[in-house]
Structure 1
Amino acid sequence: MKKYILVLILGFSAVLQAQNTISGTVTSLTNQPIKGVSVYAPDLHKSTTTDADGKYTLSNLPNGEAKISFAFVGYASQNKTIKALQKENSLNITLEESIFEMDEVIVSTAFNKMQSQNVMKVEHETIKQLQQKGTATLIEGLATIPGVSQVSTGTSIGKPVIRGLSGNRVLVYSQGVRMENQQFGDEHGLGLNDAGVESVEVIKGPASLLYGSDALGGVLYFNPEKFAGANTFKADFSQKLFSNTLGSNSSLGLKTSTENWKFLARGSYNTHSDYRVSGGDRVTNTRYNETDFKTGIGYSNSKFSSVLRYNYNNLDLGIPEDGIAAQSSSKNTGFPRQGVFNHLLSLNSIIYFKDSKLDVDLGYVANDRSEFEDSDIAGLHMKLKTFNYDAKYHLPKAGKLESIVGIQGMHQTNTNFGDEYLIPDATTNDFGVFGTANYEWGSHSAVQAGLRFDNRQITSIENGTIGEEGYFKPIDRSFDSFNAALGYKANLAQDFTMRLNVASGFRAPNLAELTSNGVHEGTNRYEIGNSDLKTEQNVQTDLNLEYKTDHFEVFVNGFYNHINNYIYTSPTGTVLDSNDVFEYIQNNAKLYGGEVGLHFHPHPLDWLHYETSFETVTGKKQNGDYLPLIPANNWNNTLRGEFKIKNWLEDGFATLNVSSTFNQDNVSGFETQSNGYTLVNLGLGGTVKLGKTVFDINLNGNNLFDTKYIAHLSRLKNDGVPNIGRNVVLGVNFNL
């Protein structure tokens, strides 16, 4: 043991002797220094900002290659790579003014390139941008991204839908770890709070090459907030108030860093009463309370970088059953209610070699879910424990060829502790191996390809009495899948970019689909699983066209997604215990559609922006019938003005948003059609400076005209319960 400790000490001593630095100056095209530019080394979680002279310094960088990004509002971002670091390196940067959104480094794809260099089109939104829209929850903010919707139960429960696919067909990643929280269930929400989250990336399409099973429909990848810059300490407090739910959201964060060590902690509390519909009535028992805590500690030097993060989330939420009944503004949940505890522990490490690096992500997720029907004794109580591992080796570059090989896996156990069983006790094991490569030529062309093999093993335990409700026969199934991806990016003309991607994905059937044998709460359906279900397998083709100049940007995204062995429920024509009996069956299916939009910034009205987007998706079974839970077409328009008032208001903005959702007449045989509606939203905010007091403020009025509407993907639609009425949101954020 002493020998190992001595080796570690000597290793650390040798590491600490290496002091590679990068320094330089950031200027504008007029050769003026730019103060406050964010200089960030993403692999090391190390950042700094330029001083009044535009100068910066980053220390303790790896001996091999280093990626550095430069970003500042109003300027086009730059991402630089220094291939062979010396002890002292000089890198001067000239930033060009740009009125469009900053070009971000995309973390969710294999090679972590900036979006303008990426072969795949990935949607990127900061949480600050989503919060400026005044949405009450994280999933509501996500649903404003073109191609993303939500299946909702009131304001407290929302499940992401990407181009018509949801549930186990969409993966959620947080802190670099796959989130597992019984996401197959209709009553189960996202399980994440936006406090302590920096941004979200949305992959719209099969991503099994990097993420394995269940990424058939896409990925939501949440990036945690960055650590403080080297040798700084930061503290902030934010408060949001919601008029409709009489709600409050409070958050306090602290973070500090030295040259090598980094630490942060953030706590938040979210509480809401029943939401009010147009006209003044409240939807009974849609209230909820949420406590969230996040912390992280990191260490980096010239040889490796490691970050340990922990997230605790406690959600107490009411389950609406009676629609608009007893009226109350209480925030104490009634029966039935649900209690959900999530623990997420992640360790993200990068080890640097001379010309290569090893990226290892380890994660542990513990999901404890209870449902209380009419007392404080849980009838349904499940604990889902998941261990994830993901190791990617970035091989040495061969000219302009980059390549990665990796392994990925998961060990998961589900255990029941209540009298009611929704799914049986079971164990799931995943293992995958993959390789991918990216080749660039010229200044704007690239091709990317990859191949992967996966195996999923599911074993469950027998429970109950044969022939009775709640009986689960034991299963022992193994599912294999090969998947591939091929993408091409090129500039067809100046300012005109094309991306073409073809990728396959897969999803092994989940426990509910394999084993269900009972009444599915809230649907009045008796569901019967099918232990012989096959793996869902899809192939999707995506085409992205973008044209961007200094004052005009337009994009067109089109996709066609063919799914073999699509799993869904179908009526058997029989009735059991006064409930219609449904069974899980399979059929081939297809989804197609896309998004189109433009951003216009007229000159010389530099303060004015107009953005519009339209999204559509159609889903059909092989026999021509429509698929369920397909979002209605939507047309979204936003007029945004940016301004500054003397010395007391900076980065001011005012927005007028008109969102029109159309009729949804293309429904499955068990859905009802939905009428269209138009919502008008206003926003106002900026950074206020009153002496030494500086704070950000947002004031939003959502559904300003108190329109009465029922969203097509609302689970309360069958009971005729409308969505939320007018909601005024006030938010402030202080840097302490």
Structure 2
Amino acid sequence: MKRVHLLLFIALYLFFPVLSFATEVAQFRGKVIDADMKSPLPGATIYITDLKAITSTNEQGEFILKNVPAKGKFLLEVRFVGYKTYSVLVDLGSQHNLVIPLSASVIESAEVVITGTPFSSNNKTNSLSVVTVGKTKLAQSGGTNLIDAIAKIPGVSQVSTGGAISKPIIRGLGYNRVLTMVDGAREEAQQWGDEHGIQVDQFSAARIEILKGPASLLYGSDALGGVINVIDDLVPAPGVYNGAFSSTYSTNNGLSASSLMLQGNDDGFVYRGRASYKNAYGFGYKNTTVPNSGFNELDFNGMLGLNKSWGYSHLSFSRFHTNIGLVENGPNADGNFVNEDGDVIPQSEAKERAVGLPFQNLTHYRAALNSNFILGKGQLKTVFAFQSNIRKEFEESAQEPGLNLNLKSYTYDVKYNFPNLGEWQPAVGVQGMYQNNVNSGEEFLIPDYNSNNIGAFVYLKRNFTKGAINAGVRYDYKKMNGKDLSFNGEQIFNGFNNEFSNMSGSLGFAFEVAKNLVLKGNAGSGFRAPNIAELGANGRHEGTFRYEIGNSNLKQETSLQFDLGLEYTAEQVTFGLNAYANRIFNYIYPGNFNNETMPFDNEDGSVETLPVYRYVQTNADLFGGEASVDFHIVKSLHFENSFSYTKGVNRANDEALPFIPAASISNEIRFEPNVKGLADTYFKVGVTNTFKQARFDSFETQTNGYTLLDAGFGTSFNTDKGKLNVWVTGQNLLNKEYYNHLSRYKPVGIYNPGRNVTFGISVPFL
């Protein structure tokens, strides 16, 4: 498999010079005007995402996109503050001096451009249920990590372990059913673990696309539930160099987070560098601080590449490193945390920033080569990536790890978008991954293993004047080999060789049934092969308060999901309504059956009894929906509301599925006054009502409902280098004690974080 990767690299880059000289260089010109006044709009931003091309308009509203192909159709996007985002498919070979009229609107981002599909498209021609979150909202959310920052999106929730670890859940599905994409490559960081978060620098995300529902057609196994697509910034226009420094401080756990970024474009040679650091002590609620729940994180990432008329090629690389404290026990009957001697741990000790035993030490290396070559009017998109995830857990000693896992992943993704055949857009793709995992510690949870999978798909889309239809089929094959292991005369793991294969398909449409009213529908099948923990786990899972036992006889999961959505966007009101029904065959989940327990000998001679969780299968149904209504009665006042609901049913006994988030309603009033000398000023107050989760599996418990009050304000100062942003975000301002149903600390009586106020600043320079 490694040899195959090497040959692909060599073949591609032997052909690279041919592509470079074969493509004719051109410039694309245009003008952006006010649709009503016909006056020019200086400072509007123009993007062609498929070319990584960006520029802005001058004082006359004119723009020039340099080093672009002389022909070919691409989606062009225009954004300007106070105007509706505009997107249009342009033909670089036939359309010249394009005039783009922008309509004034209080809803600037009503037209969302989606890039996580074979063809970049706007929301009117995309059948999938997709939500995008921009950099500004991510920063102003007050989230302690990237998933925490998007957890209030309707249909999205998180499995949390304190402030450091969050795992995405989309419509009741998570873990290896939700795929995270970073730098165009799938994230591979032992996602099977409850306390295994994503390994991504929170500051590096310029935008996040959330694809809800099965995306197996485009992404393969592990996208059965959806996709979190983390997208970095486009580089500046040619000849532009800039940088930014961002910093936040949160009062609940003393989280200080800072990031420094530099980037530039020297006539198509593009580059970016970023360094980020985060440090926090234990989070708290009311007058309690949870000992050893703090963390620290140090990240470095960068990018070097070329943006030319033949397309682009970017090499990105990163090193993510974090230490995360693990909480072994909850509070006693009096609500106090005590040490091994039974003494109450004082607040001063609980707020120490040094991480104590036990703790995780994680290092994740990633290198990805992301390219798009323009071949005539077609496009060849490739992503080759290597990742090394080193996960260590220290329990008795800070020098010798108990659990020590080293996962190496090699992934490739090659797609070819054919030249448009009239209104038809065909695409084909091949994707694959080779993995090898090695245990190097003295404790074991999963066996050594290697896996190899490959998938191929055919996708077809047809655009109409008022919509589009799309269809596709895919075949996947995966082989996983678990290694036999005996340790100190004890059989820990039995070897296995499993193979999985599946055909997937998808059919969808999007149609503007009336002015500003778009109807969407999609029927898709999904596929997921069991992960290594489900197949082969046998050991204590630190941080989850349980002993896990896998089952090598598990079958693959398959699903069939139907989505139907309605979106309306007008001048002063928008609403969205989405409903879905998802049937999953051979649904895999862990359970503590018959109150089974396992005694565990600690090194101090004590015996700890842990509940045993075994992986089993059933057929399952998940159904629910999301709704959102935003009122903009006057330009400066926004009233935003959303609702989400998911119900999971175990078809074997008609009982609830485990780990299903509770229904919730969010309401937010946002006031955006015009203040002389300032820009983007806002004040917001939000209330989130989470309902009681009365449907739960036999080993879970009911979770009461709760109401949280949030608020915030912010503004921007215009400088010669750009906008200087400042903001303050308050969460759980009434300091409510509550449990989220998906909190990993709920079983031991640890509440979710209490009141938290985050102060933030972003300063441009250069």
* Range moving further from structure 2, 204-213 or 300-309: 300-309
Amino acid at match of 1:56: F
Q: Is the 8 A contact 1:15 1:301 kept in 2?
A: no
Q: Is the 8 A contact 1:59 1:259 kept in 2?
A: no
1:270 deviates by 0.6
Give the TM-score taking structure 2 as reference length: 0.91
In structure 2, relative to structure 1, the CA distance for the partners of 1:465 and 1:316 (3 Å cut) is: closer
1:321: which partner in 2?
A: 328
- Distance in 1, matches of 2:488 and 2:524, equals 43
Amino acid at match of 1:322: N
- Distance in 2, matches of 1:344 and 1:12, equals 27
Q: Is the 8 A contact 1:22 1:59 kept in 2?
A: yes
Matched, 1:339 2:361: yes
Task: Select 1:412's aligned residue among 429, 435, 450.
Answer: 435
Q: What does 1:186-197 correspond to in 2, within 5 Å?
A: 186-197=194-205
- Distance in 2, matches of 1:691 and 1:190, equals 36
Q: What does 1:511-526 correspond to in 2, within 5 Å?
A: 511-523=532-544, 525-526=546-547
2:231: which partner in 1?
A: 223
1:81 deviates by 2.9
Task: Select 1:97's aligned residue among 84, 104, 120.
Answer: 104
1:12 deviates by 7.8
1:586 deviates by 1.0
* Range moving further from structure 2, 702-711 or 283-292: 702-711
- Distance in 1, matches of 2:143 and 2:78, equals 30
2:582: which partner in 1?
A: 561
1:537: which partner in 2?
A: 558
Amino acid at match of 1:61: V
1:599 deviates by 0.6
Q: Is the 8 A contact 1:701 1:726 kept in 2?
A: yes
In structure 2, relative to structure 1, the CA distance for the partners of 1:397 and 1:526 (3 Å cut) is: same
1:589: which partner in 2?
A: 620
* Range moving further from structure 2, 55-64 or 378-387: 55-64
2:688: which partner in 1?
A: 659
1:477: which partner in 2?
A: 498
1:20: which partner in 2?
A: 26
Q: Secondary structure at the match of 2:70?
A: coil
Amino acid at match of 2:184: G
- Distance in 1, matches of 2:57 and 2:617, equals 58
1:650: which partner in 2?
A: 679
- Distance in 1, matches of 2:20 and 2:648, equals 60
Amino acid at match of 2:441: G
Q: CA RMSD in A?
A: 2.1
Q: Is the 8 A contact 2:34 2:41 kept in 1?
A: yes
In structure 2, relative to structure 1, the CA distance for the partners of 1:482 and 1:259 (3 Å cut) is: same
Q: Is the 8 A contact 1:286 1:318 kept in 2?
A: yes
- Distance in 2, matches of 1:66 and 1:445, equals 17
- Distance in 2, matches of 1:127 and 1:579, equals 42
Q: Secondary structure at the match of 1:131?
A: helix
Q: Is the 8 A contact 2:592 2:699 kept in 1?
A: no
Amino acid at match of 2:54: S
2:664: which partner in 1?
A: 634
Amino acid at match of 2:712: G
- Distance in 1, matches of 2:753 and 2:597, equals 35
1:129 deviates by 0.9
Structure 2: give runs of 5+ residues left out of the alignment.
1-10, 332-336, 338-344, 600-608
1:429: which partner in 2?
A: 452
Q: Secondary structure at the match of 1:333?
A: coil
Amino acid at match of 2:64: T
| Structure 1 ranges of 4+ moved more than 6 A | 4-10, 690-693
Q: Secondary structure at the match of 1:209?
A: helix
In structure 2, relative to structure 1, the CA distance for the partners of 1:14 and 1:547 (3 Å cut) is: closer
Structure 1: give runs of 5+ residues left out of the alignment.
none
Q: What does 1:68-147 correspond to in 2, within 5 Å?
A: 68-83=76-91, 85=93, 89-102=96-109, 103-147=111-155
Amino acid at match of 1:256: G
2:6: which partner in 1?
A: none
In structure 2, relative to structure 1, the CA distance for the partners of 1:523 and 1:13 (3 Å cut) is: closer
Q: Is the 8 A contact 1:21 1:89 kept in 2?
A: no
Amino acid at match of 1:588: N
In structure 2, relative to structure 1, the CA distance for the partners of 1:112 and 1:331 (3 Å cut) is: same
Deviations 1:207-228 (A, max 9, x none): 0001100111111001012212
Task: Select 1:497's aligned residue among 490, 493, 518.
Answer: 518
Task: Select 1:309's aligned residue among 316, 326, 332.
Answer: 316
- Distance in 2, matches of 1:350 and 1:661, equals 44
2:5: which partner in 1?
A: none
- Distance in 1, matches of 2:597 and 2:71, equals 68
In structure 2, relative to structure 1, the CA distance for the partners of 1:230 and 1:728 (3 Å cut) is: same
In structure 2, relative to structure 1, the CA distance for the partners of 1:375 and 1:257 (3 Å cut) is: same
Q: Secondary structure at the match of 1:139?
A: helix
Amino acid at match of 1:26: V
Task: Select 1:701's aligned residue among 709, 717, 730.
Answer: 730
Deviations 1:43-82 (A, max 9, x none): 2212111112111111111133142221112212222333
1:725 deviates by 1.0
- Distance in 2, matches of 1:356 and 1:613, equals 40
In structure 2, relative to structure 1, the CA distance for the partners of 1:321 and 1:92 (3 Å cut) is: same
In structure 2, relative to structure 1, the CA distance for the partners of 1:229 and 1:402 (3 Å cut) is: same
1:10 deviates by 7.3
Q: Is the 8 A contact 2:42 2:57 kept in 1?
A: yes
In structure 2, relative to structure 1, the CA distance for the partners of 1:510 and 1:297 (3 Å cut) is: same
1:249 deviates by 0.7
Amino acid at match of 2:415: K
1:646 deviates by 1.2
- Distance in 2, matches of 1:5 and 1:179, equals 23
- Distance in 2, matches of 1:547 and 1:12, equals 43
In structure 2, relative to structure 1, the CA distance for the partners of 1:330 and 1:85 (3 Å cut) is: same
Q: Is the 8 A contact 1:127 1:194 kept in 2?
A: no
Q: Is the 8 A contact 1:614 1:635 kept in 2?
A: yes
Q: What does 1:434-445 correspond to in 2, within 5 Å?
A: 434-441=457-464, 443-445=465-467
1:83 deviates by 2.8
* Range moving further from structure 2, 319-328 or 689-698: 689-698
Q: Is the 8 A contact 1:635 1:660 kept in 2?
A: yes
Q: Is the 8 A contact 2:245 2:763 kept in 1?
A: yes
In structure 2, relative to structure 1, the CA distance for the partners of 1:9 and 1:97 (3 Å cut) is: closer
Q: Is the 8 A contact 2:27 2:70 kept in 1?
A: no
Task: Select 1:464's aligned residue among 465, 468, 486.
Answer: 486
- Distance in 1, matches of 2:15 and 2:590, equals 57
1:455 deviates by 0.2
Q: Secondary structure at the match of 2:673?
A: strand
Q: Is the 8 A contact 1:227 1:262 kept in 2?
A: yes
Matched, 1:349 2:356: no
In structure 2, relative to structure 1, the CA distance for the partners of 1:79 and 1:683 (3 Å cut) is: same
